[in-house]
């Protein structure tokens, strides 16, 4: 299930510095989604949000919740980031 993939990713990026560095190497959200899909992390943005909500209600301490929300915000930013220059 895709929500499980998002949960797995949120858990894995907490401990896996190599994965985090590889994610940083992606130049835009399209490249990042392709990279994550190649690793078996298939999910849509709404499934990521569902995974975050599911994990958040299971947190037992403030520290646990803050750690999750930091990872979630970092991942949200990277998944919508685009290097294309804006047109005015």
Query: Does residue 77 have a pLDDT over 60?
Result: yes
Give the pLDDT mean for 67-82: 90
The mean pLDDT of the chain is: 91
At residue 81, the pLDDT reads 72
Six token digits for residue 21:
């560095």
Question: Under 8 Å CB-to-CB from 10, ≥6 apart: which residues?
Answer: 51, 52, 55, 68, 71, 72, 75
Asked whether residue 87 is domain-assigned, the answer is no
Asked whether residue 16 is domain-assigned, the answer is yes
| Total number of domains constituting the chain | 1
Asked whether residue 65 is domain-assigned, the answer is yes
Asked whether residue 86 is domain-assigned, the answer is no
Asked whether residue 88 is domain-assigned, the answer is no
pTM of this structure: 0.85
Asked whether residue 22 is domain-assigned, the answer is yes
Provide the domain limits for residue 12: 2-80
Binning pLDDT at 50, 70 and 90, where does residue 38 land? very high
Instruction: Please state the φ and ψ torsions of residue 70, each to the nearest 5 degrees.
Output: -65, -50
End-to-end CA distance of the chain: 41
Q: Is 28:84 a contact under the CB 8 Å cutoff?
A: yes
């Amino acid at each position: 299930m895709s929500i499980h993939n998002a949960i797995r990713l949120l858990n894995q990026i907490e401990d896996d510095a190599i994965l985090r560095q590889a994610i940083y190497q992606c130049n835009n959200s399209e490249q990042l989604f392709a990279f994550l899909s190649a690793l078996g992390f298939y999910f849509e943005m709404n499934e990521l949000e569902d995974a975050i909500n599911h994990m958040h209600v299971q947190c037992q301490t403030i520290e646990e919740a803050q750690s999750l929300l930091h990872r979630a915000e970092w991942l949200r930013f990277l998944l919508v980031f685009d290097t294309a220059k804006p047109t005015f």
